[in-house]
Amino acid sequence: MPAVPSTLELPSSVELGLGQGGLAVARVFAPTGTAEVYLRGAHVSAWTPAGGTPVIWMSEQSEYAPGVPLRGGVPICFPWFAAHPTDATAPSHGFARLADWQLVEAREAGDDVVLVFVLTDTEASRASAWPHRFEARYTVTVGARLTLALEVTNRDTEAVSFEEALHTYLAVADIRQTEVAGLEGTPFTDRLTGPRPAESTPVRFDAETDRIYLNTPATTTVTDASTGRVITVAKQGSASTVVWNPWIDKAAAMADFGDTEYTGMVCVETCNIRDNTITLAPGENHEISASYSVA
């Protein structure tokens, strides 16, 4: 089994096995909820609170192959977001979602289960478009809530800057009857058309939607009118939020995204990007976290 120290002891509520494509996956069975996390990318691919329905969306067309990110779940975008600003050959959303993370800790905490994953720089990452020494520690707490906390420490001898995102794909019954509230009053960049003034109503979806909101610590809610389910995304250490649905044409253009699957998902991404890029002095660290709950 790759990327797991041989000394790691697992509680009975955690199983390590092989998932799709033969990739290593940690499966969590807490009394309060279940989850799956692929070690490749420390990628949460499922979370269902006990007695509930799946909250995290995965594409049925996702690839599970080396060098290709999973489509759905919670990709960790780091150390840059979207295309690299100067290196067109660098992977979209950074290298963290393509890297093998180490599972270093698995424990029960009351009725919850906590998994901790670590990624550090390698010769390959130092030869990449972001040549810095770092340690990233990702704590996944599975229960009636799902809490994801990414702490990055600068292990370099100079200041380093990075972007980051917990690029969560949330499951909805019908995107046309879904609204995302909490970002009213915040101007945004529409990645398709440019800067836009703040709106006074929640985001609704009837076309491709790709928005970057900066300078907002706001909690967001995703309300699915067709089922009445409300997902709350509370965040800390995050100043940016991205809302994305590819809609018809972009979904059709993506090989790892089913043509009609766009109706069942929305990304609400907890980020620090663009003007909210993080800069750390040597030895400094920063934590971004998102906590998901359902009503």
List residues with catalytic annotation.
167, 269
Residue 209 CB, shortest distance to ligand BG6, in Å, is 9
Residue 215 CB, shortest distance to ligand BG6, in Å, is 17
Whether the Cβ atoms of residue 96 and residue 77 lie closer than 8 Å to each other: yes
Of the pair 150, 242, the CB lying nearest ligand BG6 is at: 242
Residue 23 CB, shortest distance to ligand BG6, in Å, is 17
The sign of the CA dihedral 251, 256, 258, 262 is negative
Return the closest-CA partner of residue 163 out of 87, 94, 218, 242: 94
Of the pair 93, 132, the CB lying nearest ligand BG6 is at: 93
In Å, what is the CA distance from 244 to each residue of 150, 167, 277? 21, 10, 20
Of the pair 71, 229, the CB lying nearest ligand BG6 is at: 71
Of the pair 209, 223, the CB lying nearest ligand BG6 is at: 209
State the amino acid at position 266 in one-letter form: V
Whether the Cβ atoms of residue 135 and residue 155 lie closer than 8 Å to each other: yes
Residue nearest to ligand BG6 (CB): 92
**SS percent in the chain: helix, strand, coil, step 5:** 10, 45, 45
Whether the Cβ atoms of residue 38 and residue 1 lie closer than 8 Å to each other: no
Return the closest-CA partner of residue 140 out of 51, 34, 229: 34
Residue 213 CB, shortest distance to ligand BG6, in Å, is 11
Return the closest-CA partner of residue 98 out of 43, 145, 175: 43
- Return the structure tokens found at 251: 């979904």
User: Can you spell out the DSSP letters for 126-158?
Assistant: HTTTS---EEEEEEEEESSSEEEEEEEEE-SSS
Return the closest-CA partner of residue 85 out of 127, 130, 119: 130
Residue 136 CB, shortest distance to ligand BG6, in Å, is 19
Which residue in this structure is represented by tokens 């550090």?
Answer: 120
Residues that bind ligand BG6 (CB under 6 A): 69, 82, 92-93, 167, 191, 210, 242, 244, 269
Residue 77 CB, shortest distance to ligand BG6, in Å, is 7
The sign of the CA dihedral 237, 240, 246, 247 is positive
Burial of 78 (0-12, 13-18, 19+ CB in 10 A): buried
